[in-house]
Amino acid sequence: MTGLHRIADWDDAYSNSAYIPGGDTYPARWAERAAAFRAELAGAGRAEPDLPYGEGERERYDLFRPEGPAKGTVVFVHGGYWMAFDKGRWSHLAAGPLARGWAVAMPSYTLCPENRIAGITRQVARAVEAIAKAEAGPLRLTGHSAGGHLVSRLACADAPLSEEVRARVEHVVSISGLHDLRPLLNTRMNATLRLDEAEAAAESPALLRPRPGTGITCWVGADERPEFVRQSELLANIWLGLGAATALRLAEGRHHFDVIDDLADPDSELVETLLTA
């Protein structure tokens, strides 16, 4: 048997920064680029920050508008293992869809351990509902890492979305998403996530049925940790077998921290897939 390997250290399997040159410098670089982008869009009157979708302190989203009427709205959900970051570190990634005439909304959510992953799923669903109510037209969902998990979760048949909003979600792109949460039970981070077997199974898209009519692309860097590649292959494979329109894309030369960069490029294959698939 070839192509399989046994994982002895699950913390290492899900570690990214240690395997990326200068990995610890990326968060500051993201924050700097995002702040400059927000300032530019605010100066042009095309940024609407901190719009509420609930009563919680982090239940807010930023909205960026294109020049002219929007063709629809892209919702980007951030990562950070459900434990870190907020909407404000990723604003620059809106540049690609904006240049193609789409609005972009970026929500925050309450992090673990204050929240649980099931609670974050419900929060992000409420954010999408609020965005859909405020903005007309089709919706495209994308997210990175834990955000990839969350948008995939909203593509499941039992997702906590209204039928009206579900019908408007035309495509989902999970970027380096985590689709089977059960391995995380073996990691030290689970002291913060507080997953148990039941919640891990209930919140794993790979163990659930896709919503009929929703297409999904699992996008992952070819240079990522093997476990992230496996997680993307897993969902694309299983949902294909369940009749969903799925695709798998390994982005050559990309690792976990730069695989999202192409969202800022309107001519990239990632943006093309998100908006036209």
Instruction: Report all structural domains of the chain as residue ranges with CATH numbers, in order of start.
Output: 30-275 (3.40.50.1820)
> What phi and psi, each to the nearest 5 degrees, are found at residue 269?
-65, -35
The answer to whether 70 touches 95, Cβ cutoff 8 Å, is no
On average, the pLDDT of the chain sits at 96
CA pseudo-torsion sign 215, 51, 64, 23? negative
What pLDDT sits at residue 139? 98
Q: What is the pLDDT of residues 149-184, one digit of tens each?
A: 999 999 999 999 999 999 999 999 999 999 999 999
- pLDDT at residue 66 is higher than 80: yes
Give all strands of the β-sheet with 60-64 in edge-to-edge order.
47-52, 60-64, 103-107, 73-77, 139-144, 169-175, 215-221, 246-251
Q: What is the pLDDT of residues 18-32, one digit of tens each?
A: 999 999 999 999 999
- Alpha carbons 40 and 9: distance in angstroms, whole number: 44
The answer to whether 141 touches 75, Cβ cutoff 8 Å, is yes
The answer to whether 174 touches 235, Cβ cutoff 8 Å, is yes
- pLDDT at residue 104 is higher than 80: yes
Please tell me whether the overall predicted TM-score, pTM, comes out greater than 0.85 for this model. Answer: yes
Count of alpha carbons within 13 angstroms of residue 40, beta-carbon side: 11
pLDDT grade for 40, boundaries at 50, 70 and 90: very high
Q: Within its chain, how far is the Cα of 46 from the centroid? A: 23
- What's the one-letter identity of residue 172? V
- What's the one-letter identity of residue 173? V
- Alpha carbons 29 and 24: distance in angstroms, whole number: 10
- What's the one-letter identity of residue 35? A
- Alpha carbons 165 and 53: distance in angstroms, whole number: 15
Q: What is the pLDDT of residues 193-213, one digit of tens each?
A: 999 999 999 999 999 999 998
> What phi and psi, each to the nearest 5 degrees, are found at residue 41?
-70, -35
